[in-house]
A and B are shown apart, each in its own frame.
Chain A
Amino acid sequence: MAKILMKGNEAIAEAAVRAGAVNYFAYPITPQNEVGEYLARRLPEVGGVFLQAESEVAVGNMLFGAASTGKRVFTTSSSPGISLMQEAISYMAGAQLPVVLLNIMRGGPGLGGILPAQSDYFQATKGGGHGDYRLLVLAPSTIQEAVDLTMLAFHLADKYRNPVMIIGDGMIGQMMEPVEFPDSYTEPELPPKTWAATGADGRKPQVVKSLFLDPIALEKNNILLHEKYQAMKREEIRFECYKTAPKNKILLVAYGTMARICQTAIDELEGEGISVGLFRPITCFPFPEEALYAEATKSNIETVLTIEMSMGQMVEDVERVVARQRPVKFFGRTGGIVPSPEEVIQQIKQILASGQPTKVKV
């Protein structure tokens, strides 16, 4: 298939359609409005359902209802909107409903701003709603990867009967890049969706619910969910190492757009004879713990530097994994400010010289 120059938001929309997800419920919010605008035209072409709801609270609950049919459904929103959906997401996790949600993150907290940020990492990976549940969280760093991960997300949602969240950011949503779609959507075989509500025709009634008033039944449900998350940890961890080499003293850890900026910084430093590697988680849950530990504790690595577009959220996972085997440093910009490669380079040089990153002066 030829490459097409597309805006991230529209590429994501088309990727979903190619994955057979033609049912979309959403509410407008910058910086992901183009997804809905694109699908408003596109979904009728493929016999899908497009509905703009009255609020993201309604969106989350429309997804619950729609997913109960067994069909593929999804939504896209941005930080404040995703916050409004947390109750419904907790319910869908508890009721084991497959759904895909894309968070094109923007600066927070509160109304925050509309520029790119990564400050919803905790919400996405530690569970933004109530109860013991997790989302499978994927973090693309290019628009092509956003397309690929969006398609993958629908398979994983069905495979685990669990909500899957893709965390992009305003940059990934708004940027234009050439992307390629596969000629046809292929995926491993999935079991039939016998759990779907299709009408008690010649069978006992089927109930899609997360209510278990009997504590034994509720605990059983929690254990069942937990086993799925263990399975995700065994089978779904994805990450990428970029120019990690024996002569590196520093290991960068970054994801999404931030990782891409780090790659530019690494390439420039290479020209100056300074060798730095990057560890890039693609799944933020399940977090690539063993792989990061292996990279971070290599004898040549002296410092781990986590860089995020937030005040530091993934860094806590990095610290947990590295477990004080190496000093873990952090550098981050927020508010929608996207660090430039030069800033990253300056931090690296600073650490190489004094072992400390500089404090952000505002």
Chain B
Amino acid sequence: MQSLTTTFTRPEGLQDVVTHYCPGCTHGIIHRLVAEVLDELGVRERTLGVAPVGCSVLAYNYFNTDFLESPHGRAPALATGFKRLRPDMIVFTYQGDGDLASIGMSEIIHAANRGEKFTTIFVNNAIYGMTGGQMAPTTLAGQVATTCPMGRDTGKTGMPIRMCELLSGLVTPAYLERVAVHFPQQIIKAKKAIRRAFQYQIENKCFSLVEVLSTCPTNWGKTPAESTHWVEENLKSYFPLGVYKTPEGAK
């Protein structure tokens, strides 16, 4: 019998615990991708994560790295304060759309504009998950949420905010890419983007943000499989995937 080789297993960067995320919620995939990248780049022992308020508020229970728990929307400011004093450490914020694009909009824009050398993993599932399905800044036109039960009326609440496009308008160099994790081939591409983001940080090159379209079966009122298709047919069309900015200027 030849030896048994393992080609896929739980990364060391993830703690061996069952997460609180709902069945089929792709937060779990994104956590795993970040953990795998930190392990592969060999930086996990000198990494600091900053958890937001939202579904991933308990992220610090799942990663094998030191963590800070940030007030709602303020993770980029915590990361700024930490990174400026410990530029030798790898710092990332992990934030949802309510956290980053609503209450934390000022913090993320100014951190990006200062070119803070940390990485942001921005999970966009177009809804407030932890608090039970309210409308988020990225909720799609007509999408039903508990605070827009008749479907989002963009006449009253404005259009969903495209963060990568918004941030790419800043002049300061940065790496911005939008990816998705609803099908395996998307997950593979998402991992490449996350690795590229952390690589820029290791090279102390620029601010890096990866926007990851994610699912919320519970609050979308869909099964996990239906949710992945909803991303493919609706979320992805309003939030086109792709590289929006790189420090080299090339796409």
Contact = CB atoms under 8 A, between A and B. Distances in A.
Determine direct contact between A and B, CB below 8 Å.
Answer: yes
Interface of A: 23, 25, 49, 51, 53-55, 57-69, 71, 73, 87-88, 91, 95, 197-202, 205-211
Nearest to B51: A209
Contact of A69 (B44, B50, B64, B86): B86
Interface in B41-76: 44-48, 50-51, 57, 60, 63-71, 74
Interface in B141-183: none
Given A68-B82, A87-B71, A62 B77 contact: yes
B66 A64 contact: no
B69 A88 contact: no
Interface residues of B, number: 34
Nearest to A68: B68
A58 B104 CA distance: 10
A205 B74 CA distance: 22
A62 B84 CA distance: 9
Contact of B68 (A53, A55, A65): A65
Contacts of A68: 68, 78, 81-82
Contacts of B89: 198-199
A211 B78 CA distance: 16
Given A23-B85, A197-B48, A205-B65, 20 more contacts: A53-B110, A61-B78, A61-B107, A63-B81, A64-B68, A64-B81, A65-B83, A66-B81, A66-B84, A68-B81, A68-B82, A69-B85, A71-B85, A91-B71, A197-B66, A198-B66, A200-B45, A201-B45, A205-B67, A207-B68
Contacts of B46: 199, 201
B106 interface: yes
Interface string B105-130: 01100100000000000000000000
Contact of A58 (B57, B64, B77): B77
21 contacts: A54-B106, A58-B77, A60-B77, A61-B77, A61-B107, A64-B70, A64-B74, A64-B77, A65-B77, A65-B78, A66-B85, A69-B82, A73-B81, A73-B85, A88-B71, A91-B71, A95-B69, A199-B66, A200-B45, A201-B46, A206-B66
A88 B45 contact: no
Given A69-B85, A211-B57, A53 B71 contact: no
Nearest to A63: B81
Contacts of B69: 95, 207-211
Contacts, number: 124
Contacts of A206: 66-67
B67 A207 contact: yes
Contact of B47 (A51, A71, A199): A199
A61 B106 CA distance: 13
Nearest to B80: A62
A87 B107 CA distance: 15
B110 A58 contact: yes
A41 B44 CA distance: 36
A347 B14 CA distance: 69
Interface string B3-18: 0000000000001000
B79 interface: yes
Contacts of A64: 68, 70-71, 74, 77-78, 81
B45 A65 contact: no
Given A61-B70, A211-B57, A200 B80 contact: no
A65 B81 CA distance: 5
B47 A88 contact: no
B84 A49 contact: yes
B108 to A, nearest CB: 11
Q: Closest 7 CB pairs between A and B? A: A65-B81, A209-B69, A65-B78, A62-B81, A61-B77, A66-B81, A201-B45
Nearest to A199: B46
A20 to B, nearest CB: 13
Contacts of B67: 197, 205-209
Nearest to A202: B45
A187 B47 CA distance: 32
A67 to B, nearest CB: 8
Contacts of A60: 77
Contacts of B65: 199-200, 205
Contacts of B60: 205, 207, 209
A261 B88 CA distance: 50
Contacts of B85: 23, 49, 66, 69, 71, 73
